[in-house]
Amino acid sequence: MNFKITLLPGDGIGPEVVAEAVRVLDAIASKHGHSFKFTERLMGGCSIDKFGSSLTDETLADCKSADAVLLGAVGGPKWDDPSAKDRPERGLLALRKGLGVFANLRPVKAHSALMEWSPLKPEKLKGVDIMVVRELTGGLYFGWPKGRDVKDGRERAVDTLEYYDYEVKRVMELAFKLAKGRKKKVASVDKANVLESSRLWRQIAAQTGKENPGIELEHVLVDTASMKLITSPASFDVVVTENMFGDILTDEASVLAGSMGMLPSASLGESGAGLFEPVHGSAPDIAGRGIANPIGAILSSAMMLRHSFKLEAEAASIEKAVDDVITSGARTADIGGKLTTRQMTDEIIKRM
């Protein structure tokens, strides 16, 4: 099969890890007789430097016309000025919105060989296998009004947490669909004891729960959820939540895996190109040294094969190779080893 993939390596370690994911995809293509055509574009800080914009119309158009987009990371201290008129993160949010990728899937598994790298006790980590589904194109990140003004002689800042019923419904349905292929449990996370938007969220979660009697639904308040992620992480299967709650909870959940460098993500819409990116950021402190863990990016490309191209066997073969490599003791610096980004990828490709 033939697929067009737009690459957005971005900033910091982004280009280093995307290059390795491409090597893995090339290996899959030659082994299984597929053809992947890659087009590389700038997005984030590098795009601000070159074009004065974190995401140009041309780049967005190239992403929309692709079958999938593979992103490295954006941002870094160079572009951190809060008064700058454009920031790398704005490009990322505009890309998510522009592609209509309303659901962000962030799987978190605790590999038994990496448990010593998590601050949690191994007995808590046993059996941890969570799929967080974060709403990605609504809520506090995008609600209107938003901005600054002066009111009654005081400087004021406003963000709006807004959801339409259909925005909650579509992400909820995806969460339930994912739960069907897993342990058949959905935890819908909200703050319904305080927020009106959460009461709508809960209402739609409950309605979707009724339509899916085979799935066990629980409503969890976000503050309780943040605690349970640490005290009983293995009790979760699919977690579905609002954009901002999901941003916070997924960073918290990432410590269960031992290193953020291991974690992939997939952002999906109704149709069109999906967006795939490792969860780790641009890690400016180690950028350019060739020591970043490529596994987050490599597992993101596996998610691309599964969700955008429907190549389940190929996706599973990458995941199995990564699992075997970790079991075998191969380690990059973030998990206490000496392998370079490229050497870790070589080990994975060898086992595919």
The residues that are catalytic are: 141, 191, 223, 247, 251
Strand 103-109, strand 266-268: pairing: antiparallel
252 scored as a contact of ligand IPM (CB under 6 A): no
Which residue in 26, 40, 86, 89 binds ligand IPM (CB under 6 A)? Answer: 89
Question: Binding string to Mg ion for residues 107 to 136, with x set by CB under 5 A, is what?
Answer: ------------------------------
Nearest approach in angstroms of CB 334 to Mg ion is 17
Q: Which is nearer to ligand IPM, 229 or 348 (CB)?
A: 229
Compute the distance between CA of residue 48 and CA of residue 101 in angstroms, rounded to an integer: 23
Nearest approach in angstroms of CB 343 to ligand IPM is 27
Are 249 and 132 within 8 A, CB to CB?
Answer: yes
**Taking CB within 5 to 8 Å according to partner kind, which of ligand IPM, Mg ion, none is near residue 89?**
ligand IPM
- Closest by CA position to 237, among listed 172, 173, 179, 176: 179
Compute the distance between CA of residue 107 and CA of residue 112 in angstroms, rounded to an integer: 16
- The site for ligand IPM, by CB under 6 A, has a size of 3
The CA distances from residue 111 to 117, 192, 198, in Å, are 10, 34, 33
92 scored as a contact of ligand IPM (CB under 6 A): yes
**Taking CB within 5 to 8 Å according to partner kind, which of ligand IPM, Mg ion, none is near residue 216?**
none
Compute the distance between CA of residue 56 and CA of residue 117 in angstroms, rounded to an integer: 40
Candidates 36-44, 84-92, 239-247, 319-327 — which segment interacts with Mg ion by CB under 5 A?
239-247
Q: Which is nearer to Mg ion, 12 or 209 (CB)?
A: 12
Q: Which is nearer to ligand IPM, 86 or 89 (CB)?
A: 89
Candidates 27-35, 125-133, 200-208, 247-255 — which segment interacts with Mg ion by CB under 5 A?
247-255
**Taking CB within 5 to 8 Å according to partner kind, which of ligand IPM, Mg ion, none is near residue 318?**
none
Q: Which is nearer to ligand IPM, 140 or 221 (CB)?
A: 140
Q: CA-CA-CA-CA torsion for 275, 202, 164, 252, nearest 10 degrees?
A: -30
260 scored as a contact of ligand IPM (CB under 6 A): no
Q: Which is nearer to ligand IPM, 173 or 247 (CB)?
A: 247
247 scored as a contact of ligand IPM (CB under 6 A): yes
Candidates 74-82, 121-129, 240-248, 254-262 — which segment interacts with Mg ion by CB under 5 A?
240-248
